[in-house]
Amino acid sequence: MIGVDTSVRPATWAAWTDTAWLAGSLPDGSAMPAALRAAVTAHHLHAREIALCIGTSGVAIDRIAGALSAARVRKAARLAAASTFKIAPGDIVTSVDRDGSGATYVAAPRPALEDRIAPWREAGFRVAVIEPAAITLLRGAATETVQIIVRMGLDLMELVVGSSARFIQARQVDLGGDARIERIRLEIETTISDVRATGSDVAGVLVCDPTVAGQLAQHPGHLPPVAPYRIGAVYRTTEPPADAAAAAGAALWRRRPAAGPTPRTPSAPAERTLRSGPAAWRHWRISKRRVPVA
């Protein structure tokens, strides 16, 4: 499987060959699928299946309390997401996971998702899963404690907060060309304050860029322990390129981790909301595991 991360610029792709990582950046817009097809051909990859990471701004992640039936949870999730996106409930796609005290849902507008799928299908790829990049990163970290995952994009930084079993928040900060370590540390400290205000605490900071991780570790200020973000040991691979962390995590979507919490495969099939779409999408889901929300 090929992981593709479109949630930050530049977009990236990654694939694990059982011995090494292949990865690279992709251009914006309509040229992206063709560029990936060229890269796949150049590297003699036979994979045509994609796990696609998208930003959290295009999805709703929330929790519904109470021991409701699956049907009532799905209905409540559609109604809540429809209110968020200002569209009809019938145009909402949901992935719902229940536990003893309620349910967590991830939802997105179906037309927007179908628009994302179409260019890849036209380029000869099959999109097997769409997942918020924040969830991909938390799953890859495989930590039971709440962490802040920091990654850098083009003139921005993204901060994802949670653990492998709990999503708290994700936000992107426009750096406006100011990528000094002091600015990065300030944004992390602001995020920690926001999280503590919700009654949670942050055990550590995981940074995708090893250079930034080293600078923060040398001058941590009031930050909790800082370490590089790594997934290689968790999934029995070498470390992928730092700028393709989310794409690499998506590429390993079906792979069972060697350590840490095991991603849960729900016993019930994903909600079949794209019946009118291609057959491959009849078992569509946004996220394959429970992501309890603070």
Q: Is the pLDDT of residue 255 over 90?
A: no
Assess whether 173 and 260 both reside in one domain.
no
Q: Give the total number of structural domains in the chain.
A: 2
Q: Provide the 8-state DSSP code for 236.
A: T
Read off the amino acid at residue 47.
A
Query: CA 27, CA 291: separation in Å to the nearest integer?
Result: 31
Assess whether 162 and 121 both reside in one domain.
no
Assess whether 216 and 110 both reside in one domain.
no
Assess whether 242 and 170 both reside in one domain.
no
Q: Is the dihedral of CA 216, 240, 11, 272 positive or negative?
A: negative
How many C-beta atoms lie closer than 10 Å to residue 65's C-beta?
8
Q: Is the pLDDT of residue 260 over 60?
A: no
The domain boundary, picked from 203, 230, 257, lies at 230
What pLDDT, on the 0 to 100 scale, is given for residue 186? 93
Nearest to 181 by CA among 149, 204, 152: 152
| Mean pLDDT for the stretch of residues 111-122 | 93
What pLDDT, on the 0 to 100 scale, is given for residue 68? 76
pLDDT digits (tens, 9 = 90+) for 79-95: 999 999 999 999 999 88
What b/e sequence results for 190-229 when a residue is b if at least 16 CB atoms lie within 10 Å of its CB, and e otherwise? ebbeebeeeebebebbbbbbeebbebbeeeeeebbebebb
Assess whether 62 and 151 both reside in one domain.
no
Assess whether 17 and 155 both reside in one domain.
no
pLDDT digits (tens, 9 = 90+) for 266-283: 333 333 222 222 222 333
Q: What percent of the chain has pLDDT over 90?
A: 57
| Mean pLDDT for the stretch of residues 160-164 | 89
Average per-residue pLDDT for the chain = 84
Query: CA 251, CA 2: separation in Å to the nearest integer?
Result: 5
Assess whether 238 and 226 both reside in one domain.
no
CATH code (residue 204): 3.30.420.40
The domain boundary, picked from 230, 250, 268, lies at 230
What pLDDT, on the 0 to 100 scale, is given for residue 99? 67
pLDDT digits (tens, 9 = 90+) for 50-59: 999 999 888 9
Query: CA 11, CA 22: separation in Å to the nearest integer?
Result: 15
Assess whether 291 and 157 both reside in one domain.
no
Q: Is the pLDDT of residue 262 over 70?
A: no
Assess whether 264 and 128 both reside in one domain.
yes
pLDDT digits (tens, 9 = 90+) for 179-211: 788 999 999 999 999 999 989 899 999 999 999
Assess whether 87 and 8 both reside in one domain.
yes
Assess whether 284 and 190 both reside in one domain.
no
User: What values do phi and psi take at 242, rounded to 5?
Assistant: -60, -35
Assess whether 223 and 239 both reside in one domain.
no
Q: Domain containing 208: what range?
A: 143-230
Q: What does DSSP say about strands 92-99 and 102-109: parallel, antiparallel, or unpaired?
A: antiparallel
CATH code (residue 7): 3.30.420.380
Specify the higher pLDDT residue, 268 or 229. Answer: 229
